[in-house]
Amino acid sequence: MQPLSTWATDVLDLVLARACLACGEPGRAWCSPCVAACPRDLRPAGLAGHDVPLVCAARYDGTVQDAIIEYKERGNRALAPMLGRLLAEAVSAHVHGTGETAATIVPVPGHHRPARGFDALGGAVQAACSHLAASGLRAAVVPAVRLGRDAGPIKGLGRAQRHSAVAGSMQPGSSRAQRRARERRPLVVVDDVVTTGATAAETVAVLRAAGIEPVGIAAIARA
Ligand SMILES: [Zn+2]
């Protein structure tokens, strides 16, 4: 899915007379000052039981939670650029200071539900790539990990249950995707919301089994 351009989003905002979900001002679905004012935590943190650094741009509460629900559950695609901005900041936190001008992004698989007709993570990732490109980092999205079997609904499960439901549910992507993932470093695994980190950790495990080492996991928010 192509993200809407800023221009198209602006036109839609005018036509639909949207209001910012944080301050209520008419205009963008989530205005730039409110996105900028949203509290961030861009320091890499650990993921319990795993040795891969994790950066979640914001906490999954308040306006961020409202925006993610509005985007994912109600399909308000006008929020993709704002959520993409947060995701881009989390990706940058892993690459910042390395002097790298290119990177590979591997999305956690399993988000694309054809029945819903909307690849929510894919839309946010594309928007994140636009933000990264504007800041001088060319990011290529590579589906180097794919779903082997559906792990089933993991919402509501505890940490250990989530990990065992997800274990073995993923496999390496096509050989072309594997090759592309090896070519361009650093490689960052991305997800929208990290709760226990079970699916992101499984994605990292599949990459490592294929001899590919990610520099970290980046997400929009931490629940
Ligand atoms: Zn606002």
pLDDT tens-digit map of 133-154: 999 999 999 999 999 877 677 7
pLDDT above 60: residue 2: no
What distance in angstroms lies between residue 36's CA and the mean position of ligand 1's atoms? 9
- Joined tokens for residue 118: 């909307």
Q: Is position 8 within any domain?
A: no
Q: Is position 158 within any domain?
A: yes
- Counting residues of the chain whose pLDDT is more than 70, the rounded percentage is 88
Q: Is position 198 within any domain?
A: yes
Q: Is position 35 within any domain?
A: no
pLDDT value at residue 7:
67
What distance in angstroms lies between residue 15's CA and the mean position of ligand 1's atoms? 18
pLDDT value at residue 157:
78
Of 66 and 6, the one with more pLDDT: 66
Domain with 99 in it: 40-222
Q: Is position 28 within any domain?
A: no
What distance in angstroms lies between residue 32's CA and the mean position of ligand 1's atoms? 7
Q: Is position 143 within any domain?
A: yes
CATH number, position 52: 3.40.50
What distance in angstroms lies between residue 35's CA and the mean position of ligand 1's atoms? 7
CA distance 140 to 132: 10
What distance in angstroms lies between residue 115's CA and the mean position of ligand 1's atoms? 32
Mean pLDDT (the chain, rounded): 89
Total domain count, the chain: 1
Question: pLDDT tens, 59-87?
Answer: 999 999 999 999 999 899 999 999 999 99
Which residue's structure tokens are 């990177």? 103
Q: What share of the chain is helix, strand, coil (3-state, %, to 5)?
A: 40, 20, 35
Q: Is position 91 within any domain?
A: yes
Query: What φ, ψ does residue 192 adopt, rounded to 5°?
Result: -85, -60
Residue pair 105/129 in contact (Cβ under 8 Å)? The answer is yes
pLDDT above 70: residue 4: no
What distance in angstroms lies between residue 31's CA and the mean position of ligand 1's atoms? 4
Q: Is position 26 within any domain?
A: no
Q: Is the pTM here over 0.75, yes or no? A: yes
Residue pair 25/13 in contact (Cβ under 8 Å)? The answer is no
- Counting residues of the chain whose pLDDT is more than 90, the rounded percentage is 69
What distance in angstroms lies between residue 60's CA and the mean position of ligand 1's atoms? 18
pLDDT above 80: residue 3: no
What distance in angstroms lies between residue 14's CA and the mean position of ligand 1's atoms? 15
